[in-house]
Structure 1
Amino acid sequence: MSDKNAVTLDDMLAAREQRAAIQRQLLQETVHVSLLSATMNIPGPVKNSQKLTDSFLTVIDAVEDQLAEHNIICQFSRHERTGPEYYLVLQLPPEMLKKQMVAIEETHPLGRLMDLDVWWFDGEIKQMSRVDIGFPARRCLICSRDAKECSRSRRHSVAELQDKITEIIVGREQHSG
Structure 2
Amino acid sequence: MLIKFDDGTPINLEQMLLAKEKRVENQKQAMLCYKHPIISLSLVIPGAIKNSSGARYLFDEAIKALQHCFLQNDITIINEDHYHYITGSEAIIAVKCSAKTLKKYCMDIENNHPLGRLWDIDVIDIVTQQSLSRSQFDNQPRQCLVCHEAAKVCGRAKRHSINEIFIAIEKKIEKFQQI
Give me the TM-score of the superposition, normalised by structure 2: 0.90
Q: CA deviation at 1:172?
A: 2.1
The residue aligned with 1:131 is: 135
For the 8 Å contact 2:43–2:58, the answer to whether it is kept is: no
The residue aligned with 1:108 is: 113
Equivalent residue of 2:148, what SS? coil
Equivalent residue of 1:170, what SS? helix
Equivalent residue of 2:159, what SS? coil
The correspondence for 2:97, drawn from 89, 92, 99, is 92
- Aligned-pair identity (%): 31
Equivalent residue of 2:22, what SS? helix
The residue aligned with 2:122 is: 117
Give me the TM-score of the superposition, normalised by structure 1: 0.91
Aligned partner letter, 1:60: I
Paired residues for 1:24-103 under 5 Å: 24-31=28-35, 33-68=36-71, 69-103=74-108
The residue aligned with 1:17 is: 21
The list of structure 1 runs, each at least 4 consecutive aligned residues, that deviate by more than 3 angstroms after superposition, is none
How far apart, CA to CA, are the structure 2 residues paired with 1:74 and 1:10? Answer: 29
Q: CA deviation at 1:54?
A: 1.4
Q: CA deviation at 1:129?
A: 0.9
For these two proteins, the number of residue pairs brought into alignment is 172
For the 8 Å contact 1:59–1:108, the answer to whether it is kept is: no
Q: CA deviation at 1:161?
A: 1.0
How far apart, CA to CA, are the structure 1 residues paired with 2:129 and 2:153? Answer: 25
The residue aligned with 2:3 is: none
The residue aligned with 1:7 is: 11
Residue segments in structure 2 that go unaligned for 5+ positions in a row: 1-5
Aligned-CA RMSD value: 1.5
Residue segments in structure 1 that go unaligned for 5+ positions in a row: none
How far apart, CA to CA, are the structure 2 residues paired with 1:43 and 1:87? Answer: 21
Deviations 1:13-34 (A, max 9, x none): 1110000000011112233x21
Equivalent residue of 1:64, what SS? helix
Equivalent residue of 1:6, what SS? coil
Q: CA deviation at 1:170?
A: 2.4
The residue aligned with 1:144 is: 148
For the 8 Å contact 2:81–2:91, the answer to whether it is kept is: yes
How far apart, CA to CA, are the structure 2 residues paired with 1:163 and 1:7? Answer: 21
Q: CA deviation at 1:142?
A: 1.2
